[in-house]
Amino acid sequence: MAGNEGFLDVGGAEKSFAGHRVLNGVDIKIARGEFVSLLGPSGCGKTTLLRIVSGLMSPDQGRVTLDGKDITNTPPHLRDVGVVFQNYALFPHLSVAENVRFGLRARKVPKDQHQATIDKFLGLVHMSAFADRPVRGLSGGQQQRVAVARALAVAPKLMLLDEPFSALDRKLRENMQIELKGLLRSLGITTVLVTHDQEEALVMSDRVAVMSRGTIEQFAAPSDVYLKPKTGFVLEFVGHSTRIAGTAGPAEGDILAVDTAFGRIFVQAGYTRGSAVTLAVRPERIALGAPPVKDAVNYIDAEVKEIIFQGSRIHVLLAGPNGASAMVETSALPPGLAIGTQTTLWWRLEDTLIYPAEAQAA
Amino acid sequence: MTTKLRFDPVLLLAVPAAIYMVIVFAIPVLWLVARGFMDADGFTLSNYIKFLSEPFNWVVIGNTLRVAFWTTVVCLALGYPTAVALARSKGAVQVAMLIAIILPLSVGVVVKTFAWQIVLRRDGIVAALLVATGVWDEPKLLLFTEHGLVMGAANVFLPFMILPIYSVLKLADPNLQDAAATLGAPPVFRFFNVALPLAMPGIIGGVSIVFSLATSMYVIPSLLIGDRFQTLATLTGRAFLLMRNEALGATTATILLFLAVAIVACSALLSRGKGDSR
């Protein structure tokens, strides 16, 4: 994806429905060949953005550019943008092969190329054996494969996936995610996935755009979104975290002391003294037991309230003074740790995240 | 593969209706059909041979089919777009449209037809409209013409076209149109390759209902076009009521029945073809 940063370029996209602002001036640039997810809760505007890119909806304001061409006012059938719909939207009156052929017929691809193209794409999604079947009897996973083959067969410049895995059960969903990602990468197709499932977004994407209330809160690589959430909303929406309310205290260099129910916690940040803040730590970044060093770490004491065994990982819920709580994720419990025991928790200074307190309400 | 037919006691619920239909419908119809194949000496085809060798009777059959055909065409041309609009509409608008479509069904055919007699007069609103728009140079009588008959009949039968199409469209996935568009299909292509095939079971249903109603209508042609223009249904009525010719009446009724059954059978066949996924 060297260069060509703005292969898909959406600028200042706004959309309102009945006076309610759904998209609030969204800008996003996606590189050629990149896999990007739009992640957010329902109503955050991600589907609206996808429909604007596909041309099924036009923005009130803003423009959409694809491969250097302004397509803001181009109708969907002239856009070269493929869509896999949430319910797959296969044509019920056509067979599997005829569904794939539909786009070829619509685009007036010469007839002698149809069969080879159908064979190729049904082969890629492992559905060749089903070519002559009606689509009615197919399982959810099979329907999705056909929908993907149908969208790919017309060689779109851009592929849009609208919550394509939400109808599949967990195991199948995980397999399909890996498989589809591999397929789209091998074809080098620029892809935008809309999802409310953070795990799906993190697993599949080169970059994730976290959306809330019609704006993009953070657009970054999955590891950055998870480890360095830019806003309180991103922190809360993606993954679990221990959150501790506090007040900014004295600063020394770029190290800020924050007074909390657990005592003083240090963080690399600059906040005005006295301002209310929220500290956060990802649960797997916290260790149980005394810290091996006292330098550049935070450590607090808490009482074990609950131990939740989840197979490969264990969640430990702890309580501190004044209703403060913490959550730790570990793969093995230290000996002697049981519900009701006191323990020390520690984490590295740089794993401490800090947000203004009011952003937490998001 | 052998599937055993097991008796389901729930089927007993249909028994009263079945008995009723046998007594008031099946037996009389069988008697009527049988009457057409009988004369004083027993079984005969002479009634049919006599009927079909009369050129006037072919005009009657032609009248019946032609009026039914045009009535169906008018109903389809007006009914399909209405059904699309109805399926797309929501809330109060949809309720209002449904009421507007279903309420006229509660007005008797005779009442409606007399109303059409007024509308189709030389000084009626249709003639006035055609003169005003320059289609006609001077007002003419539409009453007692085939055009007038088709107009009136289409008005009466329109709901029977709209409702079956609407019921099919209502269930169609709106994403299919969007999917077709993103696959590169322009609007006209989408209409012929997605919208129309999906609506086809409803269209076939509506067409077969309206066509069979229109072939067998009696009151509407009697009042809107009169005795000069005979259809199989009006001829059947005349045969029984005026001419007291049971053999003729049974013959025309049987031909009419045959046409109606043929239409229903054809449409069932067509819709089964559609149902087979292709």
Q: What is the mean pLDDT of residues A129-142?
A: 91
Question: In the 8-state DSSP scheme, what is residue B106?
Answer: G
Q: What's the pLDDT tens digit per position in A172-184?
A: 888 889 989 999 9
- Looking at chain A, the domain(s) classified CATH 2.40.50.140 span 242-361
What integer is the mean pLDDT of B115-140? 87
Does B39 map to a domain?
no
Q: Are B213 and B64 in contact (CB under 8 A)?
A: no
pLDDT of residue B4: 65
CB contact under 8 A, A151 and B183: yes
Residue A359 has a pLDDT of: 46
pLDDT digits (tens, 9 = 90+) for A27-55: 999 999 999 999 999 889 999 999 999 99
pLDDT band, very low/low/confident/very high, at B114 (cuts 50, 70, 90): confident
Secondary-structure class of domain A2-237 per CATH: alpha beta
Q: Is B183's CB within 8 Å of A102's CB?
A: yes
Residue A114 phi, psi dihedral angles, 5° rounding: -55, -55
B50 part of a folded domain:
no
User: CA of A155: which chain B residue's CA is closest?
Assistant: B183
DSSP symbols for A98-155: HHHHHHHHHTT--HHHHHHHHHHHHHHTT-GGGTTSBSTT--HHHHHHHHHHHHHHT-
Phi/psi-derived region of residue A42, left when phi > 0, alpha when psi is between -120 and 50, beta in every other case = beta
Joined together, the tokens standing for residue A295 give 């330098």
pLDDT at A101: 95
Please name the member of A77, A94, A135 whose beta carbon is closest to the beta carbon of B184.
A77
Percentage of chain B lying above the pLDDT 70 cut: 96
Mutate to test the interface with B, among A87, A98, A102 (most CBs of B within 10 A): A102
Q: What's residue B3's pLDDT?
A: 59
Q: Is residue B42 part of a domain?
A: no
Contacts made by residues A290-294, CB under 8 angstroms, sequence distance 24+? A290/A344, A290/A346, A291/A344, A291/A346
Please tell me the least confidently modeled range out of A110-119, A288-297, B197-206.
Answer: A288-297
Q: Is the pLDDT of residue B108 over 60?
A: yes
What is the interface size between A and B, counted as CB pairs within 8 Å?
85
The pLDDT assigned to B151 comes to 92
Q: Who contacts A18 (Cβ-Cβ below 8 Å, separation ≥6)?
A: none
As a whole number of angstroms, the distance between CA A59 and CA A51 comes to 9
A273 touching B, CB under 8 A? Answer: no
Q: Which domain holds residue B146?
A: 56-277
Q: Any chain B CB within 8 A of the CB of A89?
A: yes
pTM of the model: 0.81
Q: Do A77 and B277 touch (CB under 8 A)?
A: no
Distance of CA B22 to the CA centre of its chain: 24
B277 or B113, which is more confident: B113
Q: Report the CATH number that the domain containing residue B162 is assigned in CATH.
A: 1.10.3720.10
Has residue B191 got a pLDDT over 90? yes
Which residues of A fall within a CB distance of 8 Å from B278?
Answer: 93-95, 98, 134
Check if A55 contacts B (Cβ < 8 Å).
yes
Asked whether the predicted pLDDT for residue A337 surpasses 90, the reply is no
Banded pLDDT at B274 (limits 50, 70, 90): low
For residue A324, the one-letter residue type is A
Is residue B19 in a domain?
no
Q: Is the pLDDT of residue B180 over 70?
A: yes
Q: Which residues of B touch A85 (CB under 8 A)?
A: 175, 178-179
What integer pLDDT is reported at residue B183 of this predicted model? 95
B-chain residues near A98 (CB < 8 A): 278
User: Is B154 among the domain residues?
Assistant: yes
For chain A, where do the domains classified as CATH 3.40.50.300 start and end?
Answer: 2-237
In a domain, B236, yes or no: yes
Structure tokens given for A345:
């928790």
pLDDT band at A63 (very low <50, low <70, confident <90, very high): very high
* For residue A334, pLDDT beyond 90: no
**What's the average model confidence in pLDDT over B176-202?**
93
CA distances from A337 to A35, A304, A309 (A): 43, 8, 13
Residues of B with CB under 8 A from a CB of A: 173, 175-176, 178-187, 189, 193-194, 197-198, 274, 276-278
In whole numbers, what is the pLDDT of chain B averaged over residues? 89
pLDDT digits (tens, 9 = 90+) for B212-271: 999 999 999 998 898 889 999 999 999 999 998 888 899 999 999 998 888 888 887 877
**Cα separation values, A168 from A88, A143, A164, A174, B198, Å:** 12, 10, 8, 9, 26
Neighboring chain B residues of A53 at a CB cutoff of 8 Å: none
Average pLDDT over residues A354-358: 82
Domain presence at residue B147: yes
Is the pLDDT reported for residue A362 higher than 70?
Answer: no
Q: Is the pLDDT of residue B39 over 70?
A: yes
| Cβ–Cβ below 8 Å for B184 and A106 | yes
Identify the CATH number of the domain defined by range A242-361: 2.40.50.140
> How many structural domains comprise chain B?
1
CB A353 within 8 A of CB A279: yes
The arithmetic mean of pLDDT across residues B152-156, rounded, is 93
Rounded to an integer, what distance in angstroms lies between the CA atom of residue A9 and that of residue A236?
Answer: 28
What is the model's pLDDT at position A89? 94
Let me know if A355 is exposed, middle or buried by CB neighbors in 10 A (0-12, 13-18, 19+).
Answer: buried
- Average of per-residue pLDDT across A81-88: 93
Q: What is the pLDDT of residue B1?
A: 47
Q: Do B180 and A102 touch (CB under 8 A)?
A: yes
Model confidence pLDDT, tens digit, residues B42-51: 888 888 999 9
Closest in A77, A89, A103 to B175, CB measured = A89
The distance of B182 to chain A (nearest Cα, Å) reads 5
State how far the Cα of A9 lies from the Cα of A107, in Å rounded to an integer.
25
Bridge partner list, A17 = A20
Residues 230-249 of A with CB under 8 A from B: none
Of residues A75, A98, A103, nearest to B183 (C-beta): A103
Residue among A16, A28, A24 nearest A58 (CA)? A16
Label residue B97 by pLDDT band (50, 70, 90): very high
Band of residue A255 on the pLDDT scale cut at 50, 70, 90: confident
State the amino acid at position A299 in one-letter form. Answer: Y
Percentage with pLDDT > 70 across chain A: 98
In a domain, B18, yes or no: no
In this prediction, residue B278 has a pLDDT band, given cuts at 50, 70 and 90, of very low
Q: For the purposes of burial, counting CB atoms within 10 Å of the CB of A170, is it exposed (0-12), middle (13-18) or buried (19 or more)?
A: exposed
Interval B71-85: pLDDT, tens = 999 999 999 999 999
- Angle (nearest 5°) at CA B86 between B157 and B115: 35
Q: If DSSP codes are grouped into helix, strand and coil, which group holds residue B173?
A: coil
